Structures are given as C-alpha cells and as structure tokens.
Homo-oligomer: A and B are copies of this chain.
Amino acid sequence: MRAYDREDLQFQLWDVAGLSDVIAKTDLDRETVNGILDTADQIAADFFLPIGREIDEQEPAFIDGRAVLPDVVKPAVDAYVDAGFIAAGFSPEHGGMGLPETVHQAAAFVFAASNVSLSGYGFLTVGAGRLIQSFGTEEQKRTWLAPMVEGRFFGTMCLSEPQAGSSLSDITTRAEPMDDGRYRISGRKMWISGGEHGLSENIVHLVLAKIPGGPPGVKGISLFIVPKLRIDGSRNDVVLAGLNHKMGYRATTNCALNFGDSGECSGELLGEPHMGLSYMFQMMNEARIGVGMGATALGQAGYQASLAYARERPQGRAPGSKDPTARQVAIIEHADVRRLLLAQKASVEPALALAILCATLVDRERQGDCTVGSLLGMLTPIAKSWASEFCLEANKHAIQVLGGAGYTRDYPVERYYRDNRLNPIHEGTHGIQGMDLLGRKVLIDGGAGFAAVTAAIREDIASAGESDLAEPLEQAVRRLEQVTRHLAGQVSENPDKGLANATLYLDCFGHVVMGWMWLRITLAAIRVAARDGDSDFLRGKHQAARYFYQRELVRTQGWSQTLMSDEASAYDMQDGWY
C-alpha cells in the first residue's frame, strides 16, 4: 500500500494547480512528468516505506566522533540519488535536470509521505547547493556544487548556535580572513540536520558567521562554504560534538558541530561579506515551503493508514442497532470515525494544494514572471505553518481512529505524529512565522502582498459561479481585510503590543487561505466532472470542502472578533502571576 493517494496527487497537479501551464514553457510533457513521479513512487515503495519503523527504532549513534546510522539507510538514499532526485533540483547549466519546482516538490511529497526523515538529506543538499548556484563563483560551482548535483557531496545549513536559535543576530561564530583569501572559522553550531553521517563522500556546510569588524546584529552576518573534507581530501577542523536524541524524524541526524576547536577550520566566503542572512533567506523560503510539504505528507500518510484501518477493522454496531448478535461493522461505519477521517482529509488536501501552488509560483518567478513575488512571500509562512499545525492535528486523529493499536509501534501513525511534531519548530517556529507574516510581509511595499492574496482569492471567487463556497469565502476575506487593517495600524503604533497576537493572526489567515484552496479544489472537481463525468473521488472533494467550511472556516469569525477586540491577556500577563 502507498503512504499517499496517487490519484489525488495527479488531480492536484494537473487539474487544481494547472501544471500543464507550467510545463508548457519547458521541454517536458505530461507523460514525462508522470514517468518521473512513477519512478519516485517505485523508489519510495521499494526503499523508503519498508524501513520506516527500523530507522525510528535504531536512532543514529554517536560512535568515535561519527554519526552511525542503521545499515538500511545508505541503500535507500543511494537509490534516491541514483535515480536523479538530487540532480532534479538543479539547473541544466550546472549539470542538473532543471525540473520545475512543482514537479520537484511533488516528488518530495511522495518521498516524505513514505519516509520523511530519509527525505531530509536530498532536501538539504538541494537547498544548500542552490545557494552556491545563485551566489558562488565559477570555481566554487566547479568545486562544491558539481559534486552536490551528482549526489556525491551532501549539504547542510548551519545557522543556530547554543545561544542563538530564533535570534540569529546573536550568533558568535567568527570568520577571520587568512592570507590565501579563505577564512578561519571558529564557533559552535547546534541543531544541524545532516551535520554528520557516512552517506556521502563529503558534506558541504553553509555556515553563518561574522567577520570581525563588521556591523552588529544581522547586518554583520556572512555566509561561508565550510566542507567536512578539504579539496585535497584532508579533514577540515569540523568536529561532531554530539547528536540530539529526538522524539522523531530520527534518520535525519541532528548534530552539535564544533568549528575550529583546533584553529584549523577553513572556509570560503560565499558571495559578498555581510550579505549572509539575506542569501540564506532564499534557502529558508524554499525550505519553508518544503517543511509545509513534509508536514502535509505526514498528514497524508496518517490519513491513508487510518483510512485503511477503518475500512478493515470490525468493531461494534450503529447506536440504533439493538441486536448484540448482529455482525460487527467496520469502524468506518461509525459517524465519529468518519469525522476523524474527514477532518484529516479536510486538512491534508488543501495543505497540499497550497504547497503545490507555492511551487508553481516559484516556477513562474523562474520563468520570468516578476508579478508573483509578493503573493509567494505572503503564502510561504502560511504554507509552512498551517500544515505544521493542522496536519499534526490530523496525525492525532489518525492515532484516534486506530485506538490502542494506534498508540503502538505496530502501526506507523504514532511515528508520523512524533515526526510531525518537529515541523512547527524548525525553519522558524510557528511564532516566528506569525511575526514574519504580520510584522514584515503584511507591512512592506504598502501592503502589496496582502492585496495580491485577496486579489488572487477574488479571482477564483469570480469564476466560482453557483458554488455555495463563494459567499462564505468572500465574507471571510472581508473579515481578514478588516482585521489586517486594524492590526497593521497597531503594529505601526506599538510593535510589541501589535505583534502579541501574531500567531492567532497567522492561524486565522491560514484558515482563510485553506478555504480558498477548497474553493480551487472544488472548482477543479466541477471541471473534471464536466469533462469525464462525476465520480466518488470528486464527490469526496465537495464533501470535505463542506466539512471544512462548516467546521473550520467558521472559526475565523471568533478569531477575527478576538483580534479586533485587542485581546491582550497574554500580552498583559506578568512573570510573577504564573
């Protein structure tokens, strides 16, 4: 059995997101794209899915300064690399396959649903490599990028330090210029995913550090290429100080790394000095869409596992049944189980639609459309955070469908729940995403980003014809406009107070966007029904949309009231009162 619904993925790509428009400007055709997804599907089924439990139970071990993973990991990662899924993410001019981001993310969804923590290595390598692709010298591209594209070297992003996680302005890692143009790196990095392992010939760390004498805070941060092994093959002074023991996501090693403890760590500046954070934001923005996609994939995997269980597990009878000797029914016959399944579907499918939409916007930007940047900027924190929050909730429901069985390792749903709990934390916490949305994205360019979102939603509303989703969505958008004006004013006046409810604003905004995604999905369902005839598959879209509007979109009413009322109980709370 697959950990995801292939029919839905096809529908989402071709019918909801209009992937045909994206590939029209490439030399790909539909058949080729589907072939790529078939390959992803096969590798995921053969290598990723079967070892999910094993890599969870045998967490990476710290042995003689190395991070040792279970033996089953390398063949799986090799299969992924050999099939070209790392090369897929890079431009042809650098040896890559130049796959549209939408197709690349669709494949990422397949791999993440099948084994999220294995998929981390490719994800990180593409992210790091793209930074060199964008900002590196020709020599850096030859030396470091080329073997990353080939999948021989893997990449990492080294941002956090023990005293600086969400607050990157406080990093203290130093980079001192040396005579040969390189830099001597010294400092300690924390929470480095893929920071050490034996899966690739080399590891290329992209490290944020400060060149002495630069400006304070984030304006003095530069970005460095710091390899595990130097060009000559000798060991650079990068030492694995320890591994974190995580509740999930275990096959992605998570490392404390010491740079230059012996004074022998050398690195190369990437791009211009003091531009490190803005470069890194390119990677972080793509990574945030990727995190949203991973969270969605875990939600999907839990949904599929619990749906299969609910169809097979007999238990009890309908409340109205009076005959205790009647056969037990499958638990999907119980209304509350149907609710737990529908709640998962109602969260997972629009989250996928949003992640794919973001990927199509990335493609349009790359294809030269400079009108979509502000829309993408607004949707990125939502794609990251909404899926992290509500697909985690979906995983909670998946466990509940299985009952006691779901609480055991005999079924994968408890593992998905543990894996997914990471997603509201890494790549900017839920709270940080709210600050990014309300404290930055909503305010910049005179509110152009917010206007782009509402315009895009209203474009779909205008084409919604008789859909009974159009009116409640329009009302939700109006409420969001009112709330946004109100909060934007507050943030300008008093940022501390104005941003105090940024997380609630993020959730509220996210629900409106998901209402929009359900409109897009149902409009696509109507188009497909007109073309191919109606089907159970398409009826399910309308029913899940109905559930979402009646049980979830309505929450934006209460949230809007709270946000308009300047609710400040947390803001006013004093330390001594807890």
Chain A positions within 8 Å of B, measured between CB atoms, are 160, 163-167, 169-170, 190-191, 216-218, 244-248, 307, 311, 314-320, 324-325, 328, 332, 334-343, 345, 392, 396, 399-400, 403-404, 406-410, 414, 417-418, 421-422, 424-426, 429-431, 434-435, 439, 494-497, 499-503, 536-537, 539-540, 543-544, 546-547, 550-551, 554-555, 557-558, 561-562, 565, 567, 569-578
Instruction: Name the distance in Å between A257's Cβ and chain B's nearest Cβ.
Output: 14
Q: Which residues does chain B contribute within 8 Å of A307, judged by CB atoms? A: 578
A170-B328, A551-B562 given as contacts; is B567 within 8 A of A319 (CB)?
no
19 CB-based A-B contacts, threshold 8 Å:
A163-B315, A244-B404, A244-B407, A247-B417, A248-B407, A318-B496, A319-B499, A336-B431, A336-B434, A342-B569, A342-B570, A396-B421, A399-B425, A536-B576, A537-B577, A540-B577, A543-B577, A554-B561, A554-B562
- Chain B residue nearest to A415 (CB atoms) is B247
* Docked pose: A318 CA to B572 CA in angstroms: 14
Determine the distance from Cα of A169 to Cα of B326 in the docked complex, in whole angstroms: 11
Which residues on the B side are within 8 Å of A421 (C-beta)?
Answer: 396, 399, 407, 414, 417
Contacts of A550 in B (CB 8 A): 562, 565, 567, 569
Given B408, B424, B554, which contacts A558 in the complex, CB threshold below 8 Å? B554
- Interface SS of chain A: helix
In contact, A336 and B244 (Cβ under 8 angstroms): no
* Complex contacts, A430 vs chain B, CB 8 Å: 400
Contact partner of A247 (CB less than 8 A), chosen from B324, B407, B494, B573, is: B407
- A254 CB to closest chain B CB (Å) equals 8
* CB-based nearest B residue for A404: B191
Kindly list chain B residues whose C-beta atoms are within 8 Å of the C-beta of A170.
Answer: 315-316, 324, 328
State whether A409 and B332 are in contact (beta carbons under 8 Å apart), knowing that A167-B317, A558-B558, A569-B547 are contacts in the complex: no
**Shortest Cβ gap from A447 to chain B (Å):** 19
Chain B: minimal CB distance from A320 (Å): 4
